[in-house]
Structure 1
C-alpha cells in the first residue's frame, strides 16, 4: 500500500474505522484478485478515497479499485452502467457493498490536465454533452441545490465575518432563487474536471470517477473555470464559458449565472473549510462575471 495514501490527513477524521480500512487493504486486494481471477500488473495508485491496482485477467489489462465506504459509490456505479463504456470508463464487475470495482484500465499519466486549455476546453465540453443521458429517478437536482444556496448563503456570509461585498452576496442570492426553478433535466456529472478525463489505449478521452445529479448542464461550468484558473486568469473567464457553451451546446446566459452562483458559494464554503487558494480563485471569477 502506498505510504502517501496512509499519510493523507483525511484519515484522522475517520478514526478507528479508517485505520482498520487502511490496514485491511492488502488482504482486500488479494481476496478480490482471487475471486475475479486477477493478477497484479503494476504499482498501486491512489486518490483521496481509494486505492487503484493495475491487474490483468488473462491478457486483458484492467484496474481494481477499492474505495472507502461511501453512499456516493452506488450513484457512481449507476452512472457507469448507464454510460456503458461510452465516453466513460467501462465497468467490468463490481461489489458495491464491499466497495470494490473492476474497470477498464486507462492511462493515468495522460489526462486533460496536461493538455493546453484551447484544446482541453472543447474536449471536456463535448464530453459533458455526450454524457447527458436521461437521468434515473431519485437523484438530487440542480434546482434543489440552488434552493439550498438561497437558504444558506447569507448565514454563511454572516458567520464568516462578511468576507465578500454585500453586492456580491445579493447577486448570488438572486441567482439562487432564479436558478432553483430550472426544470430541464439530464444526467450531470457533478465531478467533471480535467484530471478526471484520461486517455484509453486507443487514444480516446474517457471520464472516470463520476458524481451525478440531475438537472441542467450549465451547473457544471464553474468547476471547469476554477480547476485551471491559474492558467485561465480573469481575462479569459468569458472566453472559457463561450468555448464550453459552443462545445456542449449550453445556454450562455444560464452558464454565466451558474458560474457566478457556484463561485460565490464555493468562495464561502472554501473559507469555512480552511482553504486558502480556491476562495481567491472564486473571488476572481465572481469579480470577472459581475
Structure 2
C-alpha cells in the first residue's frame, strides 16, 4: 500500500509524471520484491522522494527502496557501490532503470541520538565517505551553481 501522504506530495511536486509513477509503484514494488526474493515485514514508509518497504530475504533484514526517477537520484546506487558499506548502508541489489535498490536494513539511530559527540561521529563518517568519485559522476563544483540559484530564488 502506497501511503496517501507520499502519493499526494509526489503528485503535487512532480505533476503528471509523478501521478504516472505513483500509479505504477504498486507493480514496481511487487516486481522487485519477487525478483529479489523478498517478503515484506511491515508497512511501507517514505521520505520525500522514495518509498521504503521493510522486508526479509534469506533471513536477512532488508529494505526495498523505490525512488522517483529524478536526476538527483541517478547516481545514488553508484555512490553506494563505491562506499561498499563503509560509512553508508550496504547495497545488495540495484536496478538503475527503475531507481530500485535493495539495501541492508539499519537501525533508526541518528546523530541526535548518538551516545558519542555528534560532531565526532559526523567527522568520522565524512572521512570514511571521502573517496574518489568514479568517472561519469558529476562533480559537486558543477552542481553548486544550480543549487545556489535555487536557494536564492
TM more than 0.5: yes
- Hey, what's the Cα distance between the residues in 2 that align with 1:143 and 1:48? 25
- The Cα offsets for residues 148-203 of structure 1, whole Å up to 9 and x where unpaired, read as 48xxxxxxxxxxxxxxxxxxxxxxxxxxxxxxxxxxxxxxxxxxxxxxxxxxxxxx
Q: 1:114, CA displacement in angstroms?
A: 3.8
Q: 1:50, CA displacement in angstroms?
A: 0.6
- Hey, what's the Cα distance between the residues in 1 that align with 2:21 and 2:142? 34
Structure 2, unaligned runs of 5 or more: none
Question: Partner of 1:59 in structure 2?
Answer: 59
Distance 1:36 1:141, change over 3 A: closer
Structure 1, unaligned runs of 5 or more: 150-261, 273-290
Question: Partner of 2:3 in structure 1?
Answer: 2
Question: Partner of 2:45 in structure 1?
Answer: 45
Q: 1:143, CA displacement in angstroms?
A: 4.3
Question: Match of 1:107, SS?
Answer: coil
Distance 1:44 1:13, change over 3 A: closer
**8 Å CA contact retained: 2:53, 2:65:** yes
Question: Match of 2:117, SS?
Answer: helix
**8 Å CA contact retained: 1:62, 1:104:** yes
- Provide the aligned length of Structure 1 versus Structure 2: 152
- Hey, what's the Cα distance between the residues in 2 that align with 1:24 and 1:142? 32
Question: Partner of 2:70 in structure 1?
Answer: 70
Distance 1:143 1:32, change over 3 A: closer
CA RMSD of aligned residues (A): 2.4
Question: Match of 2:34, SS?
Answer: helix
Q: 1:269, CA displacement in angstroms?
A: 4.0
Instruction: Give the number of the structure whose residues are more often helix, by fraction.
Output: 1
Q: 1:271, CA displacement in angstroms?
A: 5.3
Distance 1:67 1:137, change over 3 A: same
Q: 1:29, CA displacement in angstroms?
A: 1.1
Question: Partner of 2:120 in structure 1?
Answer: 122
Q: 1:36, CA displacement in angstroms?
A: 1.2
Which has the larger Rg? 1
